[in-house]
Amino acid sequence: MRIRIVDAFADRPFTGNPAGVLLLDSTGFPDDGWLQRVAAEVNLSETAYAHPLPPGGDADWALRWFTPATEVDLCGHATLATAHVLRSTGRASGALRFATRSGILGALAHEDGSLTLDFPTSSLTPVPVPDGLASALGAEPVAVHDTSERIGDLLIELADEPAVRALAPDHAALAGLSRRGIIATAAAEDPGRGYDFVSRGFFAGVGIDEDPVTGSAHTALAPFWSARLGRTELTGLQVSARTGLVHTSLRGDRTLLTGRAVTVIDGELLSSP
């Protein structure tokens, strides 16, 4: 069985967010325990599994995502990575439709090599600052919003870009403050550098201290910053050590996420289901 490691939301190797991708020839998924063990072995923030669906249905491929610790409802970078592998190997052409735990998700390739994902927009609800958040995060929040049940994060606005970049949180303390994780964000210090806002994502609740580039988080970041900046087309820079750009386009209840991907490892998995 072929297994690939793809750097998503990246235009060169060793940047962006790496994801494992396994394209299955079966008409169903292997045992959940095997899927989880492989994801733990790969030990990246997400490993994606996809198998083809019969023609004529609502979707072309079934898709699931696993962290080293658990299955998740939505993942942007591993979806981008899967679409990239399907395109680069000739397994699919035209627009792609994935059947997932978050409904039908679309992916469209462009002539310049980039890919656009069609994801549901996350709702945002202002909430009080939870007890212990400021000390666990190591910064004082300006505002806190709860995202939709599908995402399960707290979106934390900080004073400025340097505050986001300087974060060194207590991950164990953050784990109990949200269903999935914490998204810290601020407006770009200098929009002339090619991005409108910055973010970092901490997801100790699903076994990931810091995610390099989180596509799903941008379904909440897009409406948040579009409302403040007055534009539906924005670019976010996730300022992890690897960094990555996510171009967002807010379309009501859908958010389009555009980025690039690079395959860095293409190998063989010797352990079969």
Q: Which residues of 125-144 are buried (b: 16+ CB within 10 A; e: fewer)?
A: eeeeeeeebeebbebebeeb
Nearest CA-CA partner of 24 in 42, 48, 46, 50 = 50
Name the nearest CA neighbour of 87 among 66, 112, 108, 61. 108
Buried b / exposed e over 215-246, threshold 16 CB at 10 Å, is bbbbbbbbbbbbeeeeeeebbbbbbbebbbbb
Known catalytic residue: 71?
A: no
Least Cα distance to 180 among 37, 39, 69, 35 occurs for: 69
Residue type for 237, please?
A: L
Residue of 41, 46, 71, 189 with catalytic role: 46
Token pair of 40 as six digits: 């733990």
Residue 33 belongs to what H/E stretch? helix 32-42
DSSP at 215: T
Question: For the chain, how long is the longest CA-to-CA vector?
Answer: 53
Residue 163's contacts (CB-CB under 8 Å, 6 or more residues apart) are 139, 186
Catalytic residues: 46
